[in-house]
Structure 1
Amino acid sequence: MDDPILPNLTVQQLEYLVAAAGSPTRAAAAASLGVTPSALTQGLAELERRVGVPLFERYGRHTRPRPQATEVLAHARRVVAETRDLARWAEAQRTGRAGVVRLGTIDAVAVHHRAEVIRRHRRDVPGLDLRLTVAPSGVLLDALLVGDLDLVVCVEPTGSIAGLTTSPCLDEPMHAYAPDGVHAGPPEGWGPWVTYPRGSHTREVIAAGLATIGAPFAVVAESNQPEVLREMVRLGMGWAVLSAAQAESGVEPLDRVRRLPVGTRRLV
């Protein structure tokens, strides 16, 4: 037997049927949906026409569902309930309270500046799958450009990048630190330095800041990890320019060479 032609029913018509079956009068059903009784009656009449089966009968001054309306009503309740679930899901997606967000940050953001914000967001919005990637700024921007990340917080690049929109997050002062026992004289005698690898956005900020105050920038060791750079300073391998959050947190914090920062890196 061939399948019958499907009736062209709308969710609104089915919602009218559910409301009419659960209300004492058509007027009450219409009020519960925020429509006029006339609109409700017309919608139910159109539903009957499209189904091809009489669904209501007169009972005094009122109408009530016929026995054959039972199957249609059960179907209507399922469709309306599932459509409401779909609407809730779509709203959660639009408002960012559900779905997947691939966030990339540099280590200073994930560990120091926004660690509590990230933890609180995971706790307060359990429906959102927040996937965190921690990497250097250049790596994050490359991943963003190819679509592997949705959002990044990194050091502001020196020039604009086509296709990307940036907003300031915070300005982070960068200070100079020397090994214990080293006398910090004029900037002309500072160094040698342990710092970030070539191509690092933070290294560009450091190099520009040291040049401004007349300090040489002779590099003897490199690492992408500020914790490693801090340990190199403790071991006497060289000086470093780091943020206070990276250099002065935890046990054995480093001491600043001077009060004023060498430069400031902007996180976007």
Structure 2
Amino acid sequence: MTDPNLPNLTVQQLEYLVAAAASPTRAVAAASLGVTPSALTQGLAELERRIGVTLFERSGRLTRLRPQAADVLAHARRVVAETRGLARWAEGQRTGRAGVVRLGTIDAVAVHHRAEAIRRHRQDVPGLDLRLNVAPSGELLDSLRVGDLDLVACVEPTRHDLSTQLDGIDFDHCFTEPLFAYAPAQSNAETMADWGPWVSYPRGSHTREVIAAGLVAAGAPFTVVAESNQPEVLREMVRLGMGWAVLPAVPAETGSEPLKRARRRPVAERRIAVARRSGLPADAAVEALAEALLAG
């Protein structure tokens, strides 16, 4: 037995059927949908014609659904409900009120500078599925470049990196973070030429490049004896007397034993940027989160 041809039904016709079944009169049904009674009647007649089954019968001055139409009504209710769900989903996608955003940030952004902005955005957009990955800047940008992340908040690469390694990524400046020098408690350095040795971020780190350039410009040597991606670990290395460090103020000067700055002025500044891949179709959910991060 071959399958019958599918009737060419419209969601509007099925919506008319659902409304007519739920209303005492067709006038009430039409008013609930914002159409005229004649438009509703014509739509229902066309639905009957396309199905090839009579759905309604006269009962005095009223028209009521026939018992044989119960299966058609159940189908109509399912289709209308699922189509409404689809419409809500599409609206959320268009407006950024729903969807999935894979966000990558460095720890300073996620824990300190934009933690409140991220929390507030999640509260304001409860339909958003936000997936957060915290990692070093270079790792985040690699993931962004291959499509594993949608949005990144990281240390902006140096001009050399921007021109040779990161084609296809757009950067928007978010904020600038000063970096200060901190010495072990037992240090007796008298001039910047006596500063060091250093505990610092790993080789290849964007922040380490900024620190190295700042120290060289100030006339201080930059000999690294230990490395870590975690500023809190570097802070503890300084407390243990393993070396000096250049760090943001928040991780260095918090806790029960805050470090003291070797001088009041920062050694360098790192630019924190929001990064996206170039040339992609606009995604409202990604754009809304980017705006929240940039606004702080």
Q: TM-score normalised by the shorter chain: which range applies?
A: 0.7 to 0.9
Mapping for residues 1-150 of structure 1, pairs under 5 Å = 1-119=1-119, 127-150=127-150
- The answer to which structure, 1 or 2, has the higher relative contact order (CA under 8 A, 6+ apart) is 2
2:138 aligned partner, one-letter code: G
| Identity in percent | 78
TM-score (ref. length: structure 2)? 0.80
What corresponds to 1:220 in structure 2?
225
Aligned length: 268
CA separation in 2, counterparts of 1:166 and 1:34? 48
1:247 aligned partner, one-letter code: A
2:213 pairs with one of 200, 208, 215:
208
The Cα of 1:246 is off from its aligned counterpart by 1.6
| 1:239 matched to 2:221 | no
The Cα of 1:122 is off from its aligned counterpart by 5.6
What secondary structure sits across from 1:101 in the alignment? strand
TM-score (ref. length: structure 1)? 0.88
Is the Cα–Cα contact under 8 Å of residues 186 and 241 in structure 2 kept in the other structure?
no
1:104 aligned partner, one-letter code: G
1:187 aligned partner, one-letter code: M
The Cα of 1:124 is off from its aligned counterpart by 6.5
Is the Cα–Cα contact under 8 Å of residues 144 and 151 in structure 1 kept in the other structure?
yes
What corresponds to 1:261 in structure 2?
266
Is the Cα–Cα contact under 8 Å of residues 98 and 129 in structure 2 kept in the other structure?
yes
Bigger CA drift: 28-37 or 254-263?
28-37
What corresponds to 2:156 in structure 1?
156
CA separation in 2, counterparts of 1:144 and 1:36? 53
* Structure 1 unmatched runs, 5+: none
2:255 aligned partner, one-letter code: G
Is the Cα–Cα contact under 8 Å of residues 174 and 265 in structure 1 kept in the other structure?
yes
What's the Cα RMSD here?
2.4
The Cα of 1:2 is off from its aligned counterpart by 2.6
CA separation in 2, counterparts of 1:193 and 1:36? 80
What corresponds to 2:284 in structure 1?
none
Is the Cα–Cα contact under 8 Å of residues 27 and 37 in structure 1 kept in the other structure?
yes
Is the Cα–Cα contact under 8 Å of residues 201 and 229 in structure 2 kept in the other structure?
yes
The Cα of 1:145 is off from its aligned counterpart by 0.7
CA separation in 2, counterparts of 1:72 and 1:230? 70
